[in-house]
Amino acid sequence: MRRVAIASLVSSPEEVAELRRLLRAGGVAAVPTETFYALAADPVNAGAVERIFRIKGRDDGSPLPVLFANRRDLEGLGVTADPRTLATYFAVWPAPLTVVLPIRAPIAASRGAATLAVRLPASGPLRELLLAVGPLTGTSANRSGAPPLSDPDTLEAQFRSEIDVLVDGGPTPGGLPSTLVDATREPPVVLRPGAHAWPAR
């Protein structure tokens, strides 16, 4: 496992290009979010998605959330939500708010479903990284049944032989996970309360 500071990574075109190549080839990285570290892979690469479940030690068929940086990313992922629905969430994002939206066709991260949980993260450095390499899966970095990890040293000790790159952003805030909202229903339904109050007030 290679460990690189996120500031050094995003400021180096060579580092960014190398990470992009690694991810497109099925690599898995750990990245710092506004809550915990996440296991990040190309969301359309089936082999990479399967690797994440092997790392976590479970595979119940559940989809993986995807982190993105701008509206064009959603188009590339096949999101088909109408503009008014998207406007509701872009008025809140960036935030620890993950939203389930319809997609044209299943992708690896959606595990056969025609919906996808997406988040524009509140972490500025992570958004810079996503702008450089594209959308990434954002499931919490932890073994199945264990708490998510916020400390990069602990993460390295537990996963050094299983992930390719640790993108080091120092300790993350921890706390609650992102709030999960299903926007395919009307009105939207909170599937998991979390770090962002919903509905917004």
Chain-centroid distance of CA 189 in Å reads 21
Per-residue model confidence (pLDDT) at position 58: 84
DSSP state of 147: P
- State the pLDDT at residue 83: 93
- Contact assessment for residue 114 and residue 103, using Cβ atoms and an 8 Å cutoff: yes
Burial label for 131, CB within 10 Å (0-12, 13-18, 19+), is: middle
pLDDT of residue 198: 83
Let me know if 12 is exposed, middle or buried by CB neighbors in 10 A (0-12, 13-18, 19+): middle
Determine the pLDDT at residue 200: 57
User: C-alpha distances in angstroms, 58 versus 82, 116, 146?
Assistant: 34, 20, 12
Which superfamily does 2-192 belong to?
DHBP synthase (3.90.870.10)
Residue 103 is predicted with a pLDDT of 98
Return the number of other C-beta atoms located less than 10 Å from residue 122's C-beta. 19
State phi, psi for 165 to the nearest 5 degrees: -140, 135
CB atoms closer than 10 angstroms to residue 94: 16
pLDDT digits 0-9 by tens, 92-110: 999 999 999 999 999 999 9
What angle do helix axes 124-133 and 13-24 make, rounded to 10 degrees?
70
pLDDT for 72: 95
Domain boundaries, the chain: 2-192
Whole-angstrom distance, CA of residue 54 vs CA of residue 59:
7
| Span 105-135, pLDDT tens digits | 999 999 999 999 999 999 999 999 999 999 9
Determine the Cα–Cα distance for residues 4 and 94; give it in Å rounded to an integer.
24
Distances in Å between the alpha carbon of 151 and those of 31, 85, 114? 11, 35, 34
* Closest to 77 (Cα-Cα) out of 96, 102, 54: 102
Please identify every stretch of the chain with a pLDDT value under 70, giving residue numbers as ranges.
200-201
Residues 189, 64, 44, CA angle at the centre, nearest 5°? 125
